[in-house]
């Protein structure tokens, strides 16, 4: 999930309508406007009969008499699109993007094998303020481990990574990247966009998404990096695995990731309802989209991943 996300605030006035006597067609017009945005931006734009889909949605709504009717229509639209990633969150449903009480998870670190630095990243879905702190926590964990020993390589464990904001984990681990190009994405007009991560900045195309002011030098740089994945590696976790595939001296071990490999755009309604819409597909270094997930370069059972990674890092090749 997010999440990188461009903030797109829909300036529709419907949230104020519940206590006013607006004509009933206003709610339908609200849905129509949202539907057109979804149609134009969705990664499935060129794969769907949109007229038929809209009719199916309208047939499911007895009458557009309230905000909830419009929201039900939007939610059903997303279900029918069925891109495997988009989601509509009603204003009454608690969500992790609208709270400041989420705890930042602990980053597990260790020295494995003879002298290999190990970091396990769980992912974090939260608002921008908290994910920014998460980036700093990751960077500190990386630097502390780097200073603790002369390391022969690194293992980044993403096997239980549930995703989050696109740039947060990349920024935290940026000193490990040999190249600032960490990804590519393609929209529904077949336009390719570069994704760049520097030590202190993360760009999606030309847009600066996030920054991090933190120490950036590693003593143990230019070492092999092994990345561990599983079917529980999701969304931004999948992107991070892909990002390492753009780097030198890196290899991915494990099993195929979940397949939520699209970029989500966040649309925020005045009522605090949210629409996370898949608008671009992530691509590999050969510019091919990866809708089924990221396939590891070395396929192995989850319980064998660390052993396989250690053997590769400690080998001469």
At 14-50, the pLDDT tens digits run: 443 444 454 445 899 999 999 999 999 999 999 999 9
For the segment 132-141, the average pLDDT, to the nearest whole number, is: 97
Instruction: Give the dihedral sign, CA 38/267/61/12.
Output: negative
Q: Give the tens place of pLDDT for each residue, 253-284.
A: 999 999 999 999 999 988 889 999 999 999 99
Q: Which of 149, 112, 150, 153 is nearest to 317 (CA)?
A: 153
Asked whether the CA dihedral 290, 296, 301, 303 is positive or negative, the reply is negative
Positive or negative: CA dihedral 244, 250, 253, 256 = positive
Structure-token pair, residue 162: 């549930």
Give me the domains of the chain, ranges plus CATH numbers: 7-96 (no CATH), 97-260+280-314 (3.90.226.10)
pTM of the predicted protein model: 0.90
Rg (CA), the chain: 21
CA proximity to 183, closest of 170, 172, 165: 170
């Amino acid at each position: 999930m997010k999440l990188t996300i461009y903030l797109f605030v829909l300036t529709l006035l419907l949230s104020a309508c519940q206590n006013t006597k607006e004509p009933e067609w206003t709610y339908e017009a609200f849905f129509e406007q949202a539907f057109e945005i979804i149609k134009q931006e969705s990664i499935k734009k060129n794969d769907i009969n949109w007229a038929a889909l809209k009719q199916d949605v309208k047939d499911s709504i007895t009458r557009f008499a309230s905000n909830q009717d419009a929201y039900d229509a939007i939610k059903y639209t997303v279900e029918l699109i069925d891109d495997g990633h988009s989601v509509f969150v009603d204003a009454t449903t608690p969500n992790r993007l609208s709270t400041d009480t989420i705890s930042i998870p602990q980053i597990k670190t260790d020295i494995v094998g003879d002298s290999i630095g190990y970091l396990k990243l769980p992912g974090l879905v939260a608002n921008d303020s908290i994910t920014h702190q998460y980036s700093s926590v990751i960077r500190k964990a990386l630097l502390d481990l780097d200073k603790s020993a002369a390391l022969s390589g690194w293992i980044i464990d993403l096997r239980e990574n549930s995703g989050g904001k696109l740039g947060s984990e990349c920024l935290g681990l940026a000193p490990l990247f040999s190249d600032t190009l960490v990804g590519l994405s393609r929209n529904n007009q077949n336009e390719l966009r570069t994704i760049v991560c520097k030590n202190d900045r993360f760009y999606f195309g030309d847009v600066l998404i996030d920054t991090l002011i933190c120490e950036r030098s590693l003593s143990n740089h230019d070492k092999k990096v092994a990345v561990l994945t599983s079917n529980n590696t999701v969304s931004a976790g999948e992107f991070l695995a892909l990002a390492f595939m753009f780097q030198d001296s890196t290899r991915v071990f494990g099993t195929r990731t979940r397949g939520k490999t699209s970029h989500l755009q966040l649309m925020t309604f005045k009522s605090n309802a949210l629409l996370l819409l898949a608008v671009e597909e992530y691509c590999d270094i050969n510019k091919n989209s990866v809708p089924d997930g990221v396939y590891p370069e070395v396929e192995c059972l989850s319980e064998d991943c660390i052993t396989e990674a250690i053997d590769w890092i400690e080998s001469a090749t």
